Amino acid sequence: MDSIAVKIKNASKEYTQKSKSSLVFSDINLDIFDNEILVILGPSGCGKSTLLRTIARLEKLSGGEIIDAGEKDDSKAGMVFQEPLLYPWLTVKENIELGLSFSKNFDAKNENGTKKLLQEFGIDQLTDSYPDEISGGQAQRVNLARTLIVNPKVLLLDEPFGALDPSTRTYLQDWLLDIKSSRELTIVLVTHDVEEALKLADRIIIMSAGPGTFLESWDLRSVDSTDESSKNTIKKQILDNYQGSIQNSSTQINKSTDIEETIEILEPIQS
């Protein structure tokens, strides 16, 4: 049996704004296994990104709990956002090593580790460059390296390749598959790209329209990668469920008689 990296039990998240409450997701029960890539699909507003942030302990759950390999209060997860958010006054090397300045990461500091990451991502020639001197694809590589340098047990990716050109996106997707094995990482990826999900995932989960909950899942580990018929069948199932979830999301919004009120409620839970 696969060992569990993260266990999510009866998780829910609710926001309150101007005395109005909005449920983002509810009844989330999930085991995330060691050394797997779990991909989460779903329409905007279903709580995918918020769920990632709660796993990273960037936000607190309203109900339920998240347990990391038997420890309730200690997250060993690193999160990568769609935008690199690099500090413009720091060099590439300084941005990568930023997380090492926190006391809990002192033991991860290793000059050879930084050098290896720079080489691994093909950005060693940019060591002393500043963010405004590098491309978007290079900046995202720096972003990924900055997260990995502290040796997270779980890597959380919030649509990190969505804004990249196709060539860079393909390169980083292939790289992600390589490091999953070489570093024995557990990876949770949020994306809207079904092809990306099928390429990368060991398991795929679709969340329903907000308030989000798990709608359907597929385990791709038992599927022969050369069996095009099986892959196409799964792809059709995913697309059918995905489209149904998007339509349900649109229906829920259209039911509101006050458009401004609907936007106000949904705005803080976009993912």
pLDDT at 253: 43
pLDDT at 99: 75
pLDDT at 117: 86
Rounded to 5 degrees, φ, ψ at 202 are -90, -35
pLDDT at 192: 86
Give counts: helices (H), strands (E), the chain: 8, 9
How far is residue 96's CA from residue 207's CA, in Å, rounded to a whole number?
33
pLDDT at 263: 28
Q: Is the pLDDT of residue 262 over 60?
A: no
Is 155 within 8 Å of 77 (Cβ atoms)?
Answer: yes
- Delineate the domains of the chain, giving CATH numbers in brackets: 4-76+153-269 (3.40.50.300)
For the chain, give the mean pLDDT. Answer: 81
pLDDT at 244: 66
- The pLDDT tens digits for 14-42 are 988 877 888 889 999 999 999 999 999 98
Percentage of the chain lying above the pLDDT 90 cut: 32
pLDDT at 252: 52
pLDDT at 164: 82
How far is residue 27's CA from residue 234's CA, in Å, rounded to a whole number?
25
Is 129 within 8 Å of 91 (Cβ atoms)?
Answer: yes
How far is residue 198's CA from residue 204's CA, in Å, rounded to a whole number?
8
Q: Which residues of 65-86 are buried (b: 16+ CB within 10 A; e: fewer)?
A: ebebeeeeeebbbbbbbbebeb
How far is residue 150's CA from residue 127's CA, in Å, rounded to a whole number?
18
